[in-house]
Structure 1
Amino acid sequence: MVGLAIPTATLGCGMLGCMVRTGRLRSWWHALRYLAAEGVAGMASMALLVAGLVLMIFLLFGPGLLLAPRAVRLLRWWTGLARRRAGWFSGEVLPERYPPIPAAPTFEDLRRLATAASTRRDAGWLAAHALIAPVAGLLAVALPAGAVNSLLIPAYWQLMPADEPVTNIYPVTSWWGAAAMPLVGVAYAALALWLTPLMARGVCGLAVRLLAPTRESRLVERVSALTASRAAALDAHAAELRRIERDLHDGAQNRLVGVVMMLGIAERSLRTNPEQALPQLLRAQDAAADALAGLRTIVHDIYPPILDELGLEGAVSALAGRCAVPCVLDVGGLRRAPVALESAAYFVVAEGLTNVVKHGGAGGVTVRLCTAHRDSGEVLRIAITDDGHGGAVERAGGGLSGIRRRAEAFEGTMELASPEGGPTTLKVELPCGS
């Protein structure tokens, strides 16, 4: 029994050592592949860095800001690939958080986009990656290649011309020199086994440190988003006040002025010709009823009572039923949201359907509302699709820009896809809060 125990233990230790060596070789091979890919990507980062430096010169003169959205999209795409490579190597998913890029950005939006904390962080990674990754990738490939070459030198050094001897650490011109090359190859291999994983962890750590959102960067982006949403909320509020003022001035106020004039005429008729007073009073009554209906419409547009009575689903159903274009409504998965959010969603659908009726030339429209989950919490998603002629463009002061203002006031987003010939799809996401 004792005699059998020793070989068994020895065998177990041998198997364990073999497994450890196999694991180290796999880890080294994993690191080598990662560094080789990063070395190639580093050359591309170098080219992008040069292009970015040229773009910065144009940014100083103003017109270069027009290229900022495309440059930032390219930078985000490139850093997204780096996050995926780093995640493949480390086995951890690197989150990606960016403020949205407006479809029709103003000059202030472009300036904010070019100087955002996320843009600066990505640009810093690009510069570091362009300088470090090519060197690390070259070393990762050169060291094992040098080890293999050193081991093979004793087999082919004599085949080289006498005036062009094999040169490794030193020129190999004799058997004594060639005999030492396997030792050099072992040194290269040992250095590769030690240095390659270390460099891979360093390059991956650089990506994690610069590209993964830190707590400070998240706070900065949050403050920037709150600042932008506050500005959008103020703009939306000011636009809403101007609309109410315009509706009151052009509608109810003019009707009430007409009522006052009709009553004045009826008063004079009562004094001079009482028989004509009754028809004039009836016309004044009709005009007063029209003015009252206009006031009710304005009050309804400020906050529809149907939202309190039936909720967002019922209110949107009423909008779809009154739409002049045949409307298909899908509210599967829709849950209740804060009152202000449901009001914004109601007006988004109302304005979207109005645009379809007035400008879309559509024979049918589909409205979908649902509550979805994201990493940051729940969002209310709205999608309005019509089969019209397409070509919709967001214009300042138009209905689509009003929808964008409403969405941005809640830190939401709006996307418009309207190719010539249709269909037109309007997508809006409104965060419901965590």
Structure 2
Amino acid sequence: MPTQESTDERRPARSLDVFARARVTLDGLEHLIGGVGTATLALVALIGVITVMALCLVGIGLPLVPHALRAVRAVANRERARLSRWGPDVIIDPDPVPPGVRDAIRHPATSRELRWLLTHATLGLLLGVIGMTLPFSALRDLLFPLYMGLLPPGEMAGAAMGIWQVDGLPSGLGVSLLGVGWLALALAIVPGMARLQAWPGRRMLSADPGTDLALRVAQLTATRAGALDAHATELRRIERSLHDGTQNRIVAVTVMLGAARRAVQRDPATADALLERAQDAAEQALAELRAVVRSILPPVLADRSLADALTGLAAACPVPCEVDADVPGRCAASVEATAYFVVAEALTNIAKHSQAGHATVMVRRHDDRLQVRITDDGRGGAGEDGGSGLDGMRRRTEAHDGMFELTSPPGGPTTLNVSLPCGL
């Protein structure tokens, strides 16, 4: 027999299940509404294809075939983009439709897109319309007692889908119960309807497995080349920093120590001044050497978390900067170092070039990827060819098989998105 404590423990769990189901239903409803948009376009494209086929029967529609198939491709690419935004996999657009009639018809993706067009323009549109109708029906019936007095007697009597006669407040409350039923039905079937609406697109608009594999091999080849270039660039930077900075300082220390040694007997005052200058040069060389070491792998990441390290960067930035970091656990050291350097370089660019009044750094971990977003309200217009270090940031990111995206329209704002595999 369950105790009072076990019953109390079940209640929060049930509430969480209800809220989770409501979120899933809202997501499903959003997917269905988006699917209605592409289904409407698919219906228009389907009518155009049927029209071109009819014109082909009388011999005047053949020149229009490539144009019709390009229209189908445009609608299919919109569905690919929609499914890529809402699904776990990115659906890659196929090659453009060839200009010739025979080549356009024989294109590998043409038959699959036409089958999808017919399915999505009918079943997809129907599912979307039904899914959109359910919440409106639930809202209409739940609020019925509030506006029932404004309805003419004939319309009020015909409420509740004709199941019972509405002639007063008690029967009007019964219509509200019907609204609860519509809401429960929406919670039960909307997520499944969204998956069913998306299923033909995921099945028919995806590329062949061989195409995905070839694209992945090409992407990894480019990533490997980028990693080697980034490694060579980093070695050149370290060598240049040591040669132009630390090495020159140490040479100067050696020269000044030799001069001080020669002057110590004949002119102690000059020797003391030379020793003081040599000490200052040695301290500067040590500081530059520490800076080079920190640029290879920041020691702050070994002692503190990535969120704490980024907070330190934001505190040192001349532009007011807010850090919103939620990264449970630790990522690979190289990934955290890359995220740290990207944020450091981005904040440096903001302070030097953007004329911004505020900046924000947001870091999140979703599944096996680390997402970093840096935004500022500056003048925008940032580009990778302006000597701002953005090209180096891209190479460093892509060397980890990551994604680098910069959006900086003239007038701002500037948004930098970096996605890195966590490496765990």
**Alignment map for 1:318-333 (pairs within 5 Å):** 318-333=312-327
Q: Are positions 1:267 and 2:257 aligned together?
A: no
Query: What residue in structure 2 maps to residue 258 of structure 1?
Result: 252
Answer whether contact 2:42 2:75 (CA < 8 A) is retained. no
**SS at structure 2 position matched to 1:220:** helix
Alignment partner for residue 241 of structure 1, among 235, 238, 247?
Answer: 235
Answer whether contact 2:116 2:204 (CA < 8 A) is retained. no
**SS at structure 1 position matched to 2:305:** helix
Query: What residue in structure 1 maps to residue 416 of structure 2?
Result: 426
Answer whether contact 2:307 2:327 (CA < 8 A) is retained. no
Supply the distance in 2 between the matched residues of 1:135 and 1:209 (Cα, whole angstroms).
11
Query: What residue in structure 2 maps to residue 343 of structure 1?
Result: 337
Query: What residue in structure 1 maps to residue 48 of structure 2?
Result: 40
Given the superposition, is the C-alpha separation of residues 364 and 128 from structure 1 closer, same or farther in structure 2, using an over 3 Å criterion?
A: same
Query: What residue in structure 1 maps to residue 352 of structure 2?
Result: 358
**Alignment map for 1:283-322 (pairs within 5 Å):** 283-322=277-316
Answer with 1 or 2: which has the greater Rg: 1
Could you tell me which amino acid in structure 2 is paired with residue 311 of structure 1? S
Identical pairs, percent:
44
Q: Shift of the alpha carbon at 1:96?
A: 3.6
Alignment partner for residue 380 of structure 2, among 365, 384, 390?
Answer: 390
Given the superposition, is the C-alpha separation of residues 264 and 84 from structure 1 closer, same or farther in structure 2, using an over 3 Å criterion?
A: closer
Supply the distance in 2 between the matched residues of 1:310 and 1:96 (Cα, whole angstroms).
35
1:374-427 per-position Cα deviation (integer Å, ceiling 9, x unaligned): xxxx21111111111111111176411111111111221111111222111111
Given the superposition, is the C-alpha separation of residues 45 and 274 from structure 1 closer, same or farther in structure 2, using an over 3 Å criterion?
A: farther
Answer whether contact 2:49 2:68 (CA < 8 A) is retained. no
Supply the distance in 1 between the matched residues of 2:81 and 2:49 (Cα, whole angstroms).
13
Given the superposition, is the C-alpha separation of residues 424 and 34 from structure 1 closer, same or farther in structure 2, using an over 3 Å criterion?
A: closer
Alignment partner for residue 409 of structure 1, among 399, 404, 408?
Answer: 399
Supply the distance in 2 between the matched residues of 1:256 and 1:237 (Cα, whole angstroms).
27
Given the superposition, is the C-alpha separation of residues 360 and 132 from structure 1 closer, same or farther in structure 2, using an over 3 Å criterion?
A: closer
1:300-343 per-position Cα deviation (integer Å, ceiling 9, x unaligned): 11001111111211211111111111110000355421111111
1:260-316 per-position Cα deviation (integer Å, ceiling 9, x unaligned): 121121122124323321221111011101100100010011001111111211211
Given the superposition, is the C-alpha separation of residues 276 and 399 from structure 1 closer, same or farther in structure 2, using an over 3 Å criterion?
A: same
**SS at structure 2 position matched to 1:331:** strand
Q: Shift of the alpha carbon at 1:214?
A: 3.8
TM-score by length of 1: 0.57
Gaps of 5+ in 1: 1-32, 52-73, 87-92, 99-117, 139-203
Given the superposition, is the C-alpha separation of residues 217 and 210 from structure 1 closer, same or farther in structure 2, using an over 3 Å criterion?
A: farther
Answer whether contact 2:332 2:423 (CA < 8 A) is retained. no
Alpha-carbon RMSD across the aligned residues, in angstroms, is 4.0
Query: What residue in structure 2 maps to residue 186 of structure 1?
Result: none
Supply the distance in 2 between the matched residues of 1:292 and 1:416 (Cα, whole angstroms).
36
Alignment partner for residue 389 of structure 2, among 389, 399, 403?
Answer: 399
Q: Are positions 1:380 and 2:370 aligned together?
A: yes
Alignment partner for residue 217 of structure 2, among 214, 223, 229?
Answer: 223
Given the superposition, is the C-alpha separation of residues 132 and 283 from structure 1 closer, same or farther in structure 2, using an over 3 Å criterion?
A: closer
1:348-399 per-position Cα deviation (integer Å, ceiling 9, x unaligned): 11111111011111111111100124xxxx2111111111111111117641
Q: Are positions 1:80 and 2:101 aligned together?
A: no
Could you tell me which amino acid in structure 2 is paired with residue 417 of structure 1? T
Gaps of 5+ in 2: 1-40, 53-63, 119-197
Given the superposition, is the C-alpha separation of residues 50 and 325 from structure 1 closer, same or farther in structure 2, using an over 3 Å criterion?
A: closer
Answer whether contact 1:381 1:428 (CA < 8 A) is retained. yes
**SS at structure 1 position matched to 2:346:** helix
Query: What residue in structure 1 maps to residue 275 of structure 2?
Result: 281
**SS at structure 1 position matched to 2:357:** coil
Supply the distance in 1 between the matched residues of 2:212 and 2:109 (Cα, whole angstroms).
22
Query: What residue in structure 1 maps to residue 127 of structure 2?
Result: none
Supply the distance in 1 between the matched residues of 2:199 and 2:326 (Cα, whole angstroms).
44
Q: Are positions 1:369 and 2:363 aligned together?
A: yes
Given the superposition, is the C-alpha separation of residues 353 and 317 from structure 1 closer, same or farther in structure 2, using an over 3 Å criterion?
A: same
**SS at structure 2 position matched to 1:272:** coil
Answer whether contact 2:356 2:379 (CA < 8 A) is retained. yes
Given the superposition, is the C-alpha separation of residues 250 and 41 from structure 1 closer, same or farther in structure 2, using an over 3 Å criterion?
A: farther
Supply the distance in 1 between the matched residues of 2:112 and 2:314 (Cα, whole angstroms).
58
Query: What residue in structure 2 maps to residue 152 of structure 1?
Result: none
Q: Shift of the alpha carbon at 1:254?
A: 1.6
